[in-house]
Amino acid sequence: MIENLLLGIAIGDAVGAGVEFQDRHWIRSHVDLTRFVNARAEITVPPEQKALFTENYQPWDYTDDTEMTIGLIKALCAEEPFSEDLLIQKWKEEYELGIANKGHGRNGHGSMGWYYRAEKTIEEIRNFQRNRANPGNAPAMRAVPLGLLPPLSINEYAAINANATHPNSNAILSSQCIAWATHFFLVEKGEAKDLIEYCARQMELNEEYLIYFEQISLLPTYDELTPSDFRRLCGPQPIEAPYFLAGIHGVPSDSKYTAGAVLYVLQQSEDALQALRKSLYLGGDVDSVAAITTGIMAARWGLDSIPSFMLDRVEGRAYLREIALLFQAKMG
């Protein structure tokens, strides 16, 4: 199960990375999952920012989503107590391993890139994220393995995961939400229709999340979503600043909307490929949503739905198997 989980995360991440920050309508007309689509050079940012999305990137590479998930697993498997400082250490080690193996750092990383490049301290990054109304989605994107922990540890460990970089109430809730969604599907073996209600019971939701969860629980089936439904799920459409990427239709780089999109896609999918497609077709920051949903569904239902060319081409299959065995041994 754990190997399927990591392969699904890496495939969702890699395929999503090729088309992330593209408009929902563009993705639906250009992506049919019969081939890899690389549109990173077409992301609508100023020319001087293009390199952030194209430099050191190769198709089928996974991004910081998978890299940080692996680092989190290594922290869980370490002899030391699980802590914010241990997570930072393991994430930096994993980033440096990428440099050693590839000759350069992996594409992505958001605000953590400032730390890796010694442009800001980790405390400066935490202060940047602490009071943001729209904290980044890194805590959610790397939280999946936490759902395999004993239930009494999940909220505590998910909060540590968020606080390591994003000590923000909404970021903490997103981390806990993804961990509990994983637990619901892979440990409880729950029915998809009960997912949102289940997750809401496991956390102390603030008013913003309570309203949001109520809204997404009332959404129609995926193929019946209207423009107003997409606004409920993803926020203002097209995305408005300071949410990223302003001007396109899709999921912004925001913890709350990433968590909600994941819950909705999981409810609406029957296998890993459906989860991948429905994640991508939301538009916006799709690699994070796709990594989480494809990983969870691959672990629950297997990889038979995933085209063989994806399994053959995704970066690091042997390494992901190694990490899966490490985690499996730790979990017993």
**What is 258-326 written as a DSSP string?**
HHHHHHHHHHT-SSHHHHHHHHHTT-BSHHHHHHHHHHHHHHHH-STTS-HHHHHHSTTHHHHHHHHHH
CATH code for the domain of 307:
1.10.4080.10
Cα–Cα distance, 172 to 229 (Å, whole number): 25
What tokens appear for 193 in the block? 């229709």
Average pLDDT rounded to a whole number, residues 88-117: 91
Smallest CA-to-CA distance from 180 within 160, 162, 153 is with: 153
| Tally of structural domains, the chain | 1
pLDDT per residue over 133-186, tens digit each? 999 999 999 999 999 999 999 999 999 999 999 999 999 999 999 999 999 999
- On the question of pLDDT at 61 being above 90, the answer is yes
Cα–Cα distance, 253 to 21 (Å, whole number): 9
Q: Are 147 and 179 in contact (CB under 8 A)?
A: yes
Q: What's the full length of the chain, in residues?
A: 332
Q: What pLDDT sits at residue 282?
A: 98
pLDDT band at 106 (very low <50, low <70, confident <90, very high): confident
Q: Are 136 and 68 in contact (CB under 8 A)?
A: no
pLDDT band at 110 (very low <50, low <70, confident <90, very high): confident
Cα–Cα distance, 272 to 292 (Å, whole number): 10
Average pLDDT rounded to a whole number, residues 78-103: 96
pLDDT per residue over 247-273, tens digit each? 999 999 999 999 999 999 999 999 999
Q: Are 320 and 10 in contact (CB under 8 A)?
A: yes
Q: What pLDDT sits at residue 41?
A: 93
Q: Which of 38-52, 68-82, 207-221, 287-301 has the lowest mean pLDDT?
A: 38-52
Q: Are 68 and 322 in contact (CB under 8 A)?
A: no
Q: What pLDDT sits at residue 157?
A: 98
Q: What pLDDT sits at residue 86?
A: 98
Average pLDDT rounded to a whole number, residues 237-255: 96
What tokens appear for 144 in the block? 């999946």
- On the question of pLDDT at 190 being above 90, the answer is yes
- On the question of pLDDT at 105 being above 90, the answer is no
pLDDT per residue over 86-97, tens digit each? 999 999 999 999
Q: Are 91 and 66 in contact (CB under 8 A)?
A: no
Domain span holding position 154: 2-331
